[in-house]
A and B are shown apart, each in its own frame.
Chain A
Amino acid sequence: MSKKAAFITALILAGGLFSGFRALKQSTAVVPCANSGQCNATPKLEADNSMSGTFMGQVVTPPSVDLSAHAPKNVLGEETGVGEKHIYVDLATQTLTAYQGSTLFMTATVSTGKWNPTPPGDYTIWVKLRATRMSGGEGADAYDLPNVPWVMFFYNDHVSKGDGYSLHGAYWHDNFGHPMSHGCVNMRQVDAEKLYNWVGPEGSSNIIYADTVNTGTKVTIR
């Protein structure tokens, strides 16, 4: 092989190695936990009506949650059309749309990640909880929020279940349409409740895990 050919071959190989390394690095990039207080913890169904919450140094009053009284409005989920259910979150416009097949179920303004960006990707909901506690942040953006309502945790190959990303109701702010979270998708409580009662996995319990039969709804975040 001439020197020139060898040089060109080496350049090509170097370029290929660089691209491969870069792709590998992106695919294994560590995603921070959405709620550092519950990082890698099993989601816990929890409601404490005696506690106040704090968000950005402000005291907030959580909604009262009665776990014994809750029953989903539609035990089997609300059917609005034919086909698979799918949720789309648009990070640029801070909007959520939900479809069943080609039939629109709902649209809503949301608040995605500000202090930690909400990672784009294609996800599946793996568990729903009527309410749970979320805490994390640090310094000025620290928070400790009991009774976070209508929680739908999602995951994929790059964002694990333990990272704790979810769609859920948010009672501590009303600035929807603008990023306000630590990675989760915040929704108005009425919107989160409506979505929660529609998505899979379906059921009447206050905590519902998806399985191969009772599958979780897909979520696409772009």
Chain B
Amino acid sequence: MKRLTTAAVLFVFAGFVLAGTSTGNAPLAPKIAFVAAPSPTPSATPSPTPAPVVTSQESPDGSTTATLTRTGDVTTLAVKNTVIYTAHTGSVTVLSLPANTWSPNNKYLFIKEVNPVVTTYLVMKGDGTPFGKDLPSLDVASYFAANYPGATITEVTGWASPYLLVVNIKNAAGAKQSLWFDITSHHFIPLAEYFN
């Protein structure tokens, strides 16, 4: 009897101990601190290639087309699918293809280059050949700056003839004026009238 009473007390005591340590009905789980597996080192994933931005200008007689394509920091100018000019422009320089890009004889074209420092217009031959040794294109703003200090080009609007670009400026006195830029002589010709 005495043994039974002792066993019963021990049994009850063990039950209390177990009840105090259990959490609900869940079995006791070992206390193991799970350490998250280290993340794999992310590999350098390439940025997606930006979609090319394409502009085209058909010549006035419809016989040829110029296409300016900007893909990221690279801009190309193509005539009839042949690239004649490539520029690594970065993100701050923007090239554009004016509506009047083609000379009336379809032999020349010009593009507009805008960056934080200067806006210029580059004249190129439609077949991609240079104007001379080390002269792949004519930089209108460079010629202008050398001849018209203190004046600024407001816009090159188009071609007055096969070899003459119409260049509108603000002269040193701040007045509007038009010039022709002769791409054969690289000279500017002041005009009596403003070509608005």
Contacts and interface: CB of A to CB of B under 8 A. Distances in A.
Contact of B104 (A60, A109, A114, A177): A60
A58 interface: yes
The interface size bin for chain B is 20 to 34
Contact of B166 (A140, A178, A189): A178
A140 B192 contact: yes
B138 interface: no
Size category, A interface: 20 to 34
A173 B58 contact: no
Contacts of A56: 160-161
B177 interface: no
B195 A172 contact: no
Nearest to A176: B100
A190 B61 contact: yes
Interface of A: 55-56, 58, 60-61, 63, 109, 114, 140, 170-180, 188-190
Given A61-B105, A172-B161, 20 more contacts: A58-B164, A60-B104, A140-B192, A170-B60, A171-B60, A173-B104, A173-B160, A173-B161, A174-B103, A175-B157, A176-B158, A177-B99, A178-B157, A178-B195, A178-B196, A179-B196, A180-B160, A190-B58, A190-B61, A190-B62
14 contacts: A60-B105, A170-B60, A173-B104, A174-B100, A174-B159, A175-B157, A175-B158, A175-B160, A175-B166, A177-B157, A178-B166, A178-B195, A188-B60, A190-B62
